[in-house]
Chain A
Amino acid sequence: MPIREVNLMTPELTEPILLFFGGIALSSIWILINLVVSYHPYHKPAVPFFSLFISGVTAIFITATLSENISMIEATRIALTNGLTAFLQILPFAHVVFLFFLLKASLRRRPLDPLLALLDEE
């Protein structure tokens, strides 16, 4: 769907789209900071840096287009806030998956290891 028609969409549809682009902006900026901070002489960060810069700027530009009459700085703040808030809101889903594996680990019996048994004998 062309971007000029997006403003005509219902708020129910606009919200997930804003969250989607917020996720792109957040993830791009996160990896960009990671590339800068973890730089070392054997790094070749130019291509990843510019490709992520372009994806982040595109996401912010689309956020600015979807929200009327806002500057690019405000669009950046909105996109990152959307991304971060939604990320925190989906943590319970990740928590449930993690607890499933934790429950399996709690109930599992450790298999008998002959080498460990030798250590116990000593």
Chain B
Amino acid sequence: MNDSLLPLTVLTPAIQIWFGLTILISGISMGRMGPSFSRSKFSFPLILLGFLLMVVHPSTVPSPESIFVSTLRNTAIWTFISGLGITLVLIGSPTYFRVRPVQLIGGWIIIGISWMLYLDYSAPSTWLELFVPLAVVPGILIPVVIFTFAVRVAERSMPLLEEATELNQKERDFVTSIISRNIRRSEVAKSGEQIIDSPGGMLSKSSGGIDANSGGESNDS
């Protein structure tokens, strides 16, 4: 079948799904960048938007995307319930906190329910259907290996940077002020006194021109 023969109304849900996937991947990628990048705060809204775009459609989804959407809907139900159970088990398990038997047992019951849902709605009917999808695993890993080698090649081709210069007196004062402030805070916390925290005050005393919001970088050096 040629794409040009399909009307736009039929293709719209397909475009929506691929757009949603792009947004979902973008959201995950931004989330992985960490809090030092301001775009990471868009991660969760983008993931949610992408997921909704892939699952909710105004009209019937054409083939081959329809297979993916039905699999996604079936998978989303049991993985969401399983996620709830896993969270409860982690809260109840002794690894991070004290043992909380109610959460622990409740979590495992919910995980059991998620498996029942999987077996009822999504489980393959034959052994072949169960194991054939595993062929995707080497396919997924090959670009990861290519990416790793490509990053190595790119990094080796970069010229080495010159050795960083020593800290000047202003920068030394700034680092000292941060350390002494942290030590003071921990001592005050131990003694139970109330601390009046004025980040700008100590900086202005010791380092003068260093920007308090620059994370330690001097503006004029």
Distance, CA A24 to CA B28, complexed state (A): 19
User: Which residues of B, 74-115, contact A by the 8 Å Cβ criterion?
Assistant: 75, 79, 82, 86, 89-90, 92-95, 104, 108, 111
B51 vs chain A, min Cβ distance (A): 13
Q: Count chain A CB atoms within 10 A of each CB in B133, B146, B157 and give the residue with the most.
A: B133
Closest chain A residue to B134, Cβ basis: A90
Q: Are B140 and A77 in contact (CB under 8 A)?
A: no
A interface, by DSSP: helix, strand, loop or mixed? Answer: helix
Q: Find chain A residues with CB under 8 A from B116 CB.
A: none
A contacts with B, residue count (CB < 8 A): 60
Interface 1/0 per residue, B143-185 and A, CB below 8 Å: 1101101110111011000000000000000000000000000
Interface 1/0 per residue, A83-103 and B, CB below 8 Å: 111111111110100110010
Q: Find chain B residues with CB under 8 A from A22 CB.
A: 136, 139
Q: Are A102 and B89 in contact (CB under 8 A)?
A: yes
Q: Report if B33 contacts A (CB, 8 A).
A: yes
B contacts with A, residue count (CB < 8 A): 60
A39 vs chain B, min Cβ distance (A): 10
Distance, CA A109 to CA B95, complexed state (A): 8
Q: Are A24 and B142 in contact (CB under 8 A)?
A: yes
Distance, CA A44 to CA B155, complexed state (A): 8
B94 vs chain A, min Cβ distance (A): 5
A104 vs chain B, min Cβ distance (A): 10
Distance, CA A77 to CA B175, complexed state (A): 54
Q: Find chain A residues with CB under 8 A from B93 CB.
A: 102, 105-106, 108
Q: Find chain B residues with CB under 8 A from A33 CB.
A: 22, 25-26, 29
Closest chain B residue to A43, Cβ basis: B154
Q: Report if A38 contacts B (CB, 8 A).
A: yes
Stretch at the interface among B65-73, B198-206, B212-220: B65-73
What are 26 A-to-B residue pairs whose CB atoms are below 8 Å?
A: A16-B132, A19-B133, A20-B136, A23-B139, A23-B140, A24-B139, A24-B140, A24-B143, A40-B37, A44-B158, A45-B154, A48-B151, A51-B150, A59-B139, A77-B65, A81-B67, A81-B68, A82-B64, A84-B72, A86-B135, A88-B68, A88-B71, A99-B111, A102-B93, A105-B93, A108-B93
Measuring CB to CB, which residues of chain A are less than 8 angstroms from any residue of chain B?
Answer: 12, 15-17, 19-24, 26-31, 33-34, 37-38, 40, 44-48, 51-52, 55-56, 59, 70-71, 73-74, 77-78, 80-93, 95, 98-99, 102, 105-106, 108-110
- Those 3 A-B pairs whose CB atoms lie nearest each other, nearest first: A23-B139, A86-B136, A16-B135
Measuring CB to CB, which residues of chain B are less than 8 angstroms from any residue of chain A?
Answer: 1-3, 14, 18, 21-22, 25-26, 28-30, 32-33, 37, 64-65, 67-68, 71-72, 75, 79, 82, 86, 89-90, 92-95, 104, 108, 111, 118, 124, 128, 132-144, 146-147, 149-151, 153-155, 157-158
